[in-house]
Structure 1
Amino acid sequence: MAEKKQRIVVKVGTSSLILPNGQTNLRAIDRLAFTLATLNHQGYEMVLVSSGAMGVGLASQGLRERPKPIAKQQALAAIGQTELMRIYSQRFLDYQTQVGQLLLTRDVLHFPVSRQHVLNTISTLLDDGVVPIINENDPVSVDELDHHTTFSDNDELSALVATRIGADLLIVLSDIDAFYDKDPHKYPDAQPIRRVEELTPELKAAASGSSTRFGTGGMVTKLHAAATTMEHHQQMVLCSGADPRIIFKVVKGEAVGTRFGK
């Protein structure tokens, strides 16, 4: 009987993919592709949940700030997603690994029939050694629609994907290297918490909003993602996305970032 392969979902935020000057962080993407391709070759089943469509769209159009009209934001996301996938496909192929794209809305994962189609697709891609790259379908998902199409951000999406596909681990790469007892951007004496087995009211109160102009999430959404995985008796590791090769350390079980779950 064949040994079950370990299944890992990696979520990368916009802050890890876009440089402070607004340009696409090609080195980070290359290191991310190298890391996931290497693990894929070693027999792990790797799934990538990637933000960044809006950030890459802004960079490709030479813009520094998001336009206010929703339609223009959607257009930028459509442009950026195409460019982002081109870069991912190119970089992964450099390491002899194919990728496949899935763009999802909340409806798709909540309706049983469409959810099963998505799960079947992911399963088939993994069986074929292909790395699924998942993002929210931004040109379709808007807050103004009456039905619920949007995820609060890709932290939530990654947790839903991880629980739906029965992942062994969710790794969230962020612009912060761990979960702290208070905001380290404001308080120099903030201390990292390396292991969280229960999300207490005190821990939730320590969370704060997004610290970058590109991303939409913050520590609150990461705690929500952790809560989702913990409810399904799974683990999540929050760590720095500055160098995606840190994933190797996480997979080895080294004490980096914050590990949520028992």
Structure 2
Amino acid sequence: MSEKRQLDDVKRVVVKVGTSTLIHANGQINLHALDQLCFVLSGLVNEGKQVVLVSSGAIGVGMGQVGLSTRPDEIPAQQALASIGQGLLMTIYQQRFSTYGQKISQVLLTHDVLDYPTSKQNVFNTLDTLLKWGVIPIINENDTIAVDELDHHTKFGDNDQLSAIVADIVDADLLIMLSDIDGFFNKNPQKHKDAKLIAEINKIDADVVKKAGGKGSKFGTGGMMTKLKAAKRILKHDRMMVLANGADPAVIFKIMHGDKIGTLFRKK
């Protein structure tokens, strides 16, 4: 049996789930995955952990509600879909978490809120209090008002960045980033059958960026570069991050118990 990762001291954890985990390819909500996620996170709280959930999926849920199969390019349409989807997503979270006796809250953020020390402190105070009460805050970007076309910078860019920023705000020990990939590979696994999973990365340098495919490739701009950017922030603040496949959210239990799943980002 392979040696386990030493994550016993992890007390406060941020879990980020992508749309691919929560939404089926046909646009419908993946109720099994969402239920598993709620079960696992409730179980972590029962173990004495403090958990923050950064959840994508609002626009995807909205698309399913209005029967769209393709995400629209128009900003107003995306905002409208987020408005439709966020409420339904939170309703389902409330239903499933309540099954396990777990209290939750909703926090919607925009980047400009965190640019001001007073409002940033208010966010920390709120999240810190919720965690001490054993509540799981569910965080998403406020997509109905956050647009990068505005003169003032309101948008985080994606929930990968948001999850790393939230990990900083709450002083988390670990960020678990669940996606549709098994971790970080030495080359694009979609193109190379001999691609190998890298179990641990200690710094984000030019070689790591090159392995991700670089900024000019579809692989790099399709999601891995944003994850590396998040990992870079995590390492800068001496935290840990695990990138793993979220097809079965029960993998979170295994990660927390030290199983070598996905890629661990941490300083040596």
What TM-score do the two structures reach when normalised by structure 1?
0.94
Deviation of the 1:5 alpha carbon: 7.6
- Distance verdict in 2 for CA 1:175–1:167, change over 3 Å: same
1:252 aligns with 2:257: yes
8 A Cα contact 2:10 2:174, kept in partner: no
- 1:14-29 equivalences in 2 (<5 Å): 14-29=19-34
- Distance verdict in 2 for CA 1:55–1:224, change over 3 Å: same
Tell me the secondary structure at the aligned position of residue 180 of structure 1: coil
Deviation of the 1:67 alpha carbon: 2.1
1:128 aligns with 2:133: yes
Ranges in structure 2 where 5+ consecutive residues have no aligned partner: 1-8
The whole-number CA distance in structure 1 between the counterparts of 2:65 and 2:201 is 39
- 1:212-227 equivalences in 2 (<5 Å): 218-227=223-232
Deviation of the 1:239 alpha carbon: 0.3
The whole-number CA distance in structure 2 between the counterparts of 1:150 and 1:217 is 18
Residue 124 of structure 1 aligns with an amino acid whose one-letter code is T
User: In the TM superposition, what whole-angstrom CA distance separates every residue of 1:101-133 from its partner, at most 9, and x where no partner exists?
Assistant: 000001112211111111111011111111000
- Distance verdict in 2 for CA 1:168–1:34, change over 3 Å: same
Deviation of the 1:68 alpha carbon: 2.8
1:44 aligns with 2:37: no
- Greater shift, 68-77 or 131-140, is seen at 68-77
User: In the TM superposition, what whole-angstrom CA distance separates every residue of 1:127-148 from its partner, at most 9, and x where no partner exists?
Assistant: 1111000000001101210111
Tell me the secondary structure at the aligned position of residue 223 of structure 1: helix
Tell me the secondary structure at the aligned position of residue 193 of structure 1: coil
8 A Cα contact 1:12 1:174, kept in partner: yes
The whole-number CA distance in structure 1 between the counterparts of 2:210 and 2:111 is 27
What TM-score do the two structures reach when normalised by structure 2?
0.92
8 A Cα contact 1:7 1:168, kept in partner: yes
Report the counterpart of residue 182 of structure 2 in structure 1: 177
The whole-number CA distance in structure 2 between the counterparts of 1:220 and 1:49 is 19
Runs of 4 or more, structure 1, over 6 Å off, are none
The whole-number CA distance in structure 1 between the counterparts of 2:32 and 2:70 is 23
Residue 76 of structure 1 aligns with an amino acid whose one-letter code is L
8 A Cα contact 1:106 1:148, kept in partner: yes
The whole-number CA distance in structure 2 between the counterparts of 1:114 and 1:252 is 35
- 1:11-90 equivalences in 2 (<5 Å): 11-90=16-95
Deviation of the 1:63 alpha carbon: 1.1
The whole-number CA distance in structure 2 between the counterparts of 1:217 and 1:97 is 34
1:149 aligns with 2:154: yes
Ranges in structure 1 where 5+ consecutive residues have no aligned partner: none
Report the counterpart of residue 5 of structure 2 in structure 1: none
Tell me the secondary structure at the aligned position of residue 139 of structure 2: strand
Report the counterpart of residue 195 of structure 1 in structure 2: 200
8 A Cα contact 1:210 1:219, kept in partner: no
Report the aligned-residue RMSD: 1.5
